[in-house]
Amino acid sequence: MVALHRGHGHHGDMNLARFPRRRYTPGFTPLEPLPRLSAALGGPEIWIKRDDLLGLAAGGNKTRKLEFLVAEALAQGADTLVTVGAPQSNHCRLTLAAAAKEGLKCRLVIEERVPGTYAHEALGNNLLFDLMGVESVRVVPLGADLAAEMAVEAAAVRARGGVPYTIAGGGSTPLGALGYAACAAEIMDQSFDLGVAFDAIVVASGSAGTHSGLLAGLVALNTGVPLTGINVRRPRAEQEGNVHKLAVATAELMGTPAPSRDSVVALDEWVGPGYSLPTTSMVEAVRMLASLEGVLLDPVYSGKAMAGLIGLVRRGDFHAGQRVCFVHTGGSPSLHAYARDLRDPALNG
Ligand SMILES: Cc1ncc(COP(=O)(O)O)c(C=O)c1O
């Protein structure tokens, strides 16, 4: 008997096997109950999908997207990956890790979304850019044309006779989002194996590939499980539009039914003053998961998403008798770049 989850393979509805894919994680990530958090909140039974334990340096959601994106890069004969992210970008860290593992080079464009927040000597993901041998890091201001800035990097690669492969911010294209359609199938397999039916799934919603891929997968598999996104950057209507558009394009790529507009929920009450800026509820969520469950969230994404889940429990949207699955998208390396904010729970914000 193989007890480790390897899947039942009954995903003919999506047939993701026809897309070239590199494998960066052996088997499934754990799906675990959080009994001490659940007891502390006194609401639903809360479970966690441990995508912080995915493969590549320090794990996190981008690993699933990169399995499909890097497979395409290799098929095209690329020798250099080019991508873009924020100053403490997990996506840039994982793209660089995939490049290292595949023997490719990697060039990064850093969008300074909050002026003055990029410091070359910063810890967290910035240190890892250096350790993993990035070829170049170029900082551009908020509002820069990111596609054009990446084209500059691609041209530099071509000028030295190389072949660039450009990855959109967060890897959030239909091809990248397939990684999260695959995750939806994985969660449903585990849910079946464990005999645990979920009433809802909650996930951070940023560049939208994770949210969109999960939604497209849940719809393709006809699960009926609702998905709640917690925004980390944009107002609700704008983010829901972005997610819907990408979810429809992802479903089209898979040849599965398009998710409806009203199946897209991306709540914006936990963004706080803005992208990457700490909030009191994020600090509380990070400290609760760490101290009650030994699980490390991050300040920018999973911390705010968990703050949203906690807030939804407290206001009764999720309640006793229900089971909720939180998708942990990773990001813990950036905790170390936010030590001052996290150590002081009396933060204003
Ligand atoms: C740790 C973490 N969680 C969540 C997200 C959001 O995922 P997405 O950009 O696919 O919406 C990101 C990426 O930006 C991330 O790094």
Is residue 205 part of the annotated active site? The answer reads: no
CB atoms within 10 A of CB 229: 28
What share of the chain has pLDDT > 70, as a percent? 95
- Cα of 159 from ligand 1 centre, angstroms: 32
* Residues 185, 158 within the same domain: no
* Residues 193, 322 within the same domain: yes
Q: Is residue 1, in this structure, part of any structural domain at all?
A: no
Stretch 8-16: mean pLDDT = 70
For the CA of 213, the closest atom of ligand 1 is 10
Q: Is the pLDDT of residue 3 over 50?
A: no
d(CA 236, CA 265): 8
Among 267, 259, 251, smallest CA distance to 203 is for: 267
> What's the pLDDT tens digit per position in 51-85?
999 999 999 999 999 999 999 999 999 999 999 99
Contact at 8 Å (CB) between 284 and 344? Answer: no
* Residues 288, 208 within the same domain: yes
Q: Is the pLDDT of residue 22 over 50?
A: yes
* Residues 83, 103 within the same domain: yes
Stretch 312-316: mean pLDDT = 98
What's the CATH code of the domain at 97? 3.40.50.1100
29 lines ligand 1 (CB under 6 A): no
Q: Is the pLDDT of residue 347 over 90?
A: no
329 lines ligand 1 (CB under 6 A): yes
Q: Is the pLDDT of residue 309 over 60?
A: yes
For the CA of 203, the closest atom of ligand 1 is 4
- Cα of 329 from ligand 1 centre, angstroms: 6
* Residues 202, 55 within the same domain: yes
pLDDT on residue 116: 85
170 lines ligand 1 (CB under 6 A): yes
> What's the pLDDT tens digit per position in 187-246?
999 999 999 999 999 999 999 999 999 999 999 999 999 999 999 999 999 999 999 999
Residues 89, 191, 207, 334: which is the catalytic one? Answer: 89
* Residues 44, 187 within the same domain: yes
pLDDT on residue 317: 98
Q: Is the pLDDT of residue 289 over 70?
A: yes
* Residues 294, 196 within the same domain: yes
Q: Is the pLDDT of residue 4 over 60?
A: no
Among 84, 62, 245, 253, smallest CA distance to 168 is for: 84
Q: Is the pLDDT of residue 1 over 50?
A: no
pLDDT on residue 113: 84
* Residues 96, 166 within the same domain: yes
- Cα of 58 from ligand 1 centre, angstroms: 14
pLDDT on residue 123: 94
d(CA 327, CA 218): 14
pLDDT on residue 114: 83
207 lines ligand 1 (CB under 6 A): yes
89 lines ligand 1 (CB under 6 A): no
For the CA of 207, the closest atom of ligand 1 is 9
- pLDDT tier at 10, thresholds 50, 70, 90: low
Instruction: Retrieve residue 19's tokens.
Output: 């897309």
Q: Is the pLDDT of residue 2 over 50?
A: no
Q: Is residue 336, in this structure, part of any structural domain at all?
A: yes
Q: Which of residues 110, 144, 171 is at a domain's end? A: 171
Q: Which of 54, 91, 329, 338 to mutate to test the pocket of ligand 1 (most atoms within 8 A of CB)?
A: 329
Q: What is the number of domains present in the chain?
A: 2
Q: Is residue 2, in this structure, part of any structural domain at all?
A: no
* Residues 200, 212 within the same domain: yes
What share of the chain has pLDDT > 90, as a percent? 92
pLDDT on residue 17: 95
Instruction: Retrieve residue 237's tokens.
Output: 């209507």
Rounded to two decimals, the pTM is 0.96
How deeply is 235 buried, as exposed, middle or buried, from its count of CB atoms within 10 A (0-12, 13-18, 19+)? exposed
d(CA 44, CA 48): 13
Question: Which residue range is the domain that position 239 belongs to?
Answer: 16-60+173-343
298 lines ligand 1 (CB under 6 A): yes
Residue 8, C-beta contacts closer than 8 angstroms, at least 6 positions apart: 189, 192
d(CA 299, CA 283): 7
d(CA 330, CA 275): 17
